[in-house]
């Protein structure tokens, strides 16, 4: 599988990574099999977060990757802090919390270092300088190799681009959610920062099983009827739906990797087998003409 450089870092990530959020601790064997199969199929980038299942997701990923650490690029995220009663979480981008949380993540992941540590959200009201200082110190201490942010907010992304040494921005990006195209993709590419595209199949809407995934309230700013209409138009193209979804988000130069989730080995195989069939420029432009521009001013 093709690998791309992540920003200006020394990390080279597979074009298809694996978002591990869907793995559940009670199905550890299944999650482990998917991760092992992903490695066998050329995937080297694995993303999790301390938020997922109270950290149990990190434990599963760490266990599955034991003995394979040198072959993979491991990423996790920080900032969403579980309340003591575990009934909810709150946002905490403070330096003290980040420097404590990373050690807990390292322990759960059974590793001495993270290849990529990401801020799991953020607003312009955050103590951004303090947050950056935390990541910079962790880098100097050797606990993380590089850091990035997970955000769709242009003002936050621009602030971190200006003030920090982030190598990546994770953002939701798909045919149904084209917000990054409005101003972020070119901006990040010009600043040599890579995009990690999450949600490329739009919660399963851009797969062959899409009819089972459509819900009454639609998806984002698409009504149910608009969702169905757009998918039916895309299906008139000679490229399979899943291949279309992956190719669409991987085409921009800013995008280094897309991280669909896969609950089973069969889903993973379908993703990998679909990855190499690509859209032509004309087909991609046709999809743009069919789809909405997805500009969300409230996210600034």
**Catalytic center residues:** 52
**Cα–Cα distance measured from residue 108 to residue 59, given in angstroms and rounded to the nearest whole number:** 5
What are the CA-CA distances from residue 209 to residues 63, 137, 178, 253 (Å)?
31, 46, 22, 29
Within 10 angstroms of residue 209's Cβ, the number of other Cβ atoms is: 12
N-to-C CA span, the chain: 35
Token duo for residue 10: 């020394």
Token duo for residue 35: 């991760």
Within 10 angstroms of residue 217's Cβ, the number of other Cβ atoms is: 8
Exposure letters 232-248 (e unless 16+ CB within 10 A, then b) = eebeebebbbbbbbbbb
* CA 229 to the chain's CA centroid: 27
**Cα–Cα distance measured from residue 142 to residue 11, given in angstroms and rounded to the nearest whole number:** 15
């Amino acid at each position: 599988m093709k690998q791309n450089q992540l920003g200006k870092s020394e990390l080279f990530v597979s074009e298809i990574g694996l978002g591990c959020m869907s793995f559940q601790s009670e199905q550890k064997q299944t999650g482990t099999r998917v991760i092992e199969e992903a490695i066998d199929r050329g995937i080297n980038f694995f993303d999790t977060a301390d938020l997922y299942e109270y950290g149990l997701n990190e434990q599963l990923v760490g266990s599955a990757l034991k003995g394979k650490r040198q072959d993979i690029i491991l990423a996790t995220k920080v900032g969403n802090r579980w309340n003591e009663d575990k009934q909810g979480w709150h946002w905490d981008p403070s330096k003290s919390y980040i420097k404590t949380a990373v050690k807990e993540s390292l322990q759960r992941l059974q590793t001495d270092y993270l290849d990529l540590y990401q801020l799991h959200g953020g607003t312009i009201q955050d103590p951004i300088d303090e947050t950056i200082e935390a990541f910079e110190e962790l880098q100097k201490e050797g606990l993380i190799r590089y850091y990035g942010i997970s955000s769709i907010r242009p003002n936050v992304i621009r602030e971190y681009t200006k003030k920090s040494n982030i190598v990546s921005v994770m953002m939701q990006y798909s045919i149904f959610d084209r917000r990054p195209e409005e101003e972020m993709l070119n901006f990040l590419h010009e600043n040599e920062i890579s995009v990690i595209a999450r949600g490329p199949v739009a919660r399963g809407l851009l797969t062959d099983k899409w009819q089972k995934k459509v819900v009454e309230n639609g998806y984002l700013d698409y009504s149910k009827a608009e969702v169905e209409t757009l998918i039916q138009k895309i299906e008139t193209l000679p490229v399979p739906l899943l291949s279309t979804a992956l190719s669409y988000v991987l085409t921009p130069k800013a995008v280094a990797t897309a991280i669909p989730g896969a609950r089973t080995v069969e889903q993973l195989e379908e993703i990998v087998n679909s990855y190499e069939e690509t859209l032509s420029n004309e087909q991609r432009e046709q999809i743009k003409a069919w789809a909405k521009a997805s500009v969300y001013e409230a996210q600034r």
